[in-house]
Structure 1
Amino acid sequence: MTVDPRFYAPLGALTLGQVAELTGAALDGDGDLRVTGIASAANAQAGDLAFLDGDGKSAPEISVNAGIFMTNEANLKYVPEGAAKLVVPLPRYAHAVAALAMYRPRHLDWTGDARISPDAQVHEDARVSPGAVVGPGAVIGEGTWIGPNVSIGPGVQIGRHCQIGANASVFCALVGDHVTLLAGARIGETGFGVLASPDGQRDAPHFGRVILQDHVSIGANTCIDRGVFEDTILGERTKIDNLCQIAHNVVFGRSVVMAAFGGISGSVRVGSQSMLGGRVGIADHVEVGEGVSLAASSGLFRNIEDGETWGGTPAKPIRQWMREVAWLQKQANPKKNS
């Protein structure tokens, strides 16, 4: 996905030679080749710098349009023939260094005394409460209420008839119509991405967005992180309770319901009409089908097909889980059951 210039200021393209010099990578390719964007390997387009990291034991998903790779020795075998290569021991870190030389989040340069930026567009029928701030390039739609002390970051688009509760913050996000964010919601913060660098662990920069479609509701103090390169998306009429965490690159379908204290790890997919009970946790990259139900406190580590009901930790089909619980109770209390 192309980095959205509404949220990330382009600092200019680099040549492959400049990227090699900046990162200390060994260059295999045309040093004058222009690097015009950044992306994951799965979604890279022509001119984008992608990366391949890890031990190389499993083949990564690679876009047919990808042509420039930051990689380590273990993943060289997966680089398509004819593609330009930059070889380094820590390709994810080197990719981040190059990315930060090409893009800068606009909210980091948001300054000034104006409560509502002169470059923002606020509909005449929208209401902005005391203490709220609206950044440059932001758009607030008709009939929308912005509560006290809310922060609407640069470039954020908020649709019609939305309600943004007190002390909420919205950055790097596109918000549809009739969306409700309760007090203290955090939309579009950097997710929990950590990468290895020569001097230890570092936070991975994020260049994606959050998209909240029409009629989505987000509970108080819930956090929804923006994507790393792709988007975090919540489909129409999805309802999220208070105190939930939804990580980067997560995609929910339509009318998903999630009860309080849930935690969804990065790149999870949850199908439409699914219901997640309180304190449900889902491990990264898991795919949940449509119409699935997860019992409260379930811990899910593998994919689920459409329409199934699971429970427990590790989660399993509900009848299997209940049989195991019943058996365990009998073993723990043999006298009571004799």
Structure 2
Amino acid sequence: MGRKIVAGVFHWLPKQLRGCSTTPLFMFCTSRDCNSSSEFSRWSNGGGYFHRSAVIDPSVKIDIGAVVHSNAKLDQDVHVGSGAVIGASVSIGKSTKIGYNAVLGNCSLGMSCTLHSGVCIGQDGFGFFVDGDRCVKKKPQTLQVKIGNDVEVGANTCIDRGRIGDYVTMGGRAAVRDHVSITSNVRLAANSGVTKDLPFPGDYAGFPAIPVREWRRQILSSRRLDDK
């Protein structure tokens, strides 16, 4: 009796789709299984998966292991790296590059942006309040992150819901709290923390982020105190 040979392929599952710890890192998918889903299909240019309600330009590349969810919109020449998750209704402008394992939700990105590996954008911020019964409640998070054109976001940066203008550069591990707006032509040093609006263009550093010249003066003053 001959053996039955089943054609198929292994697909890497990003962490967001694994569920419990017993879920395998890789999923074996036969051609019949891959085509039977009523919601997701495999993107021919790269091998990632997309929801059938998403609007995706034919020039877009979605690498294997990446997932694009419902009603997302990806413009021309967008590249989504392996393991990235593009959330529902996210909009990505022309020629924007999304790095490995980035997670985007509740946001829109302009043209020619670069998001490096591990970036997380559009999640709920750290917002709580005390109600009339003196109970701590989570503050509703309703804003969207709006990122302009030609913005570069460093690896592992986290941006909660707010607004970012055009030509903004953020160093690695920079953080932006919720309900914050950053004007155009701002550069944030690595490990900066933005806790309030930045209405003026320029270079910022520190936690909380302040103009870089002021931050350098603070560092110099602290060193002088240490030397005494």
Write the letter of the residue equivalent to 2:197.
V
Q: What is residue 271 of structure 1 aligned with on the other side?
A: 200
Note the C-alpha offset of 1:129.
Answer: 0.7
TM-score normalised by the chain length of structure 2: 0.72
CA–CA distance in 2 between the matches of 1:203 and 1:113? 33
Q: What is residue 207 of structure 2 aligned with on the other side?
A: 281
TM-score normalised by the chain length of structure 1: 0.50
Corresponding residue to 2:187 among 257, 264, 273 = 257
Q: Which has the higher contact order (CA 8 A, sep 6+)?
A: 2
SS at match of 1:116: strand
Note the C-alpha offset of 1:200.
Answer: 3.2
Note the C-alpha offset of 1:294.
Answer: 4.0
Q: Residues 54-69 of structure 1: matches in 2 within 5 Å?
A: none
CA–CA distance in 1 between the matches of 2:128 and 2:213? 29
Q: Residues 300-319 of structure 1: matches in 2 within 5 Å?
A: 311-312=217-218
Structure showing greater radius of gyration is: 1
Q: Residues 133-212 of structure 1: matches in 2 within 5 Å?
A: 133-197=67-131, 198=133, 200-212=135-147
Check conservation: 2:40, 2:52, Cα contact below 8 A: no
Q: Percent of counterpart pairs with the same letter? A: 24
Q: What is residue 45 of structure 1 aligned with on the other side?
A: none
Note the C-alpha offset of 1:174.
Answer: 1.1
Distance 1:142 1:195, change over 3 A: same
CA–CA distance in 2 between the matches of 1:329 and 1:242? 28
Task: Map Cα deviations across residues 104-153 of structure 1 (whole Å, 9 max, x no partner).
Answer: xxxxxxx9555311110111001001111111111001011001111111
Distance 1:134 1:199, change over 3 A: farther
Q: Residues 41-60 of structure 1: matches in 2 within 5 Å?
A: none
Check conservation: 1:268, 1:282, Cα contact below 8 A: no
Note the C-alpha offset of 1:217.
Answer: 0.4
Note the C-alpha offset of 1:236.
Answer: 1.2
SS at match of 1:312: helix
SS at match of 1:311: helix
Corresponding residue to 2:159 among 224, 236, 241 = 224
Write the letter of the residue equivalent to 2:178.
H
Structure (1 or 2) with the greater strand fraction = 2
Corresponding residue to 1:122 among 32, 36, 56 = 56
CA–CA distance in 2 between the matches of 1:112 and 1:271? 44
Write the letter of the residue equivalent to 2:100.
A
CA–CA distance in 2 between the matches of 1:201 and 1:237? 38
Write the letter of the residue equivalent to 1:233.
R
Note the C-alpha offset of 1:203.
Answer: 2.2
Q: Are 1:293 and 2:219 counterparts?
A: no
C-alpha RMSD of the superposition: 2.4
Task: Map Cα deviations across residues 290-332 of structure 1 (whole Å, 9 max, x no partner).
Answer: xx4345xx4xxxxxxxxxxx6328xxxxxxx75x865x467x3
Check conservation: 2:39, 2:52, Cα contact below 8 A: no
Write the letter of the residue equivalent to 2:193.
G
CA–CA distance in 2 between the matches of 1:269 and 1:329? 31
SS at match of 2:51: coil
CA–CA distance in 1 between the matches of 2:39 and 2:75? 23
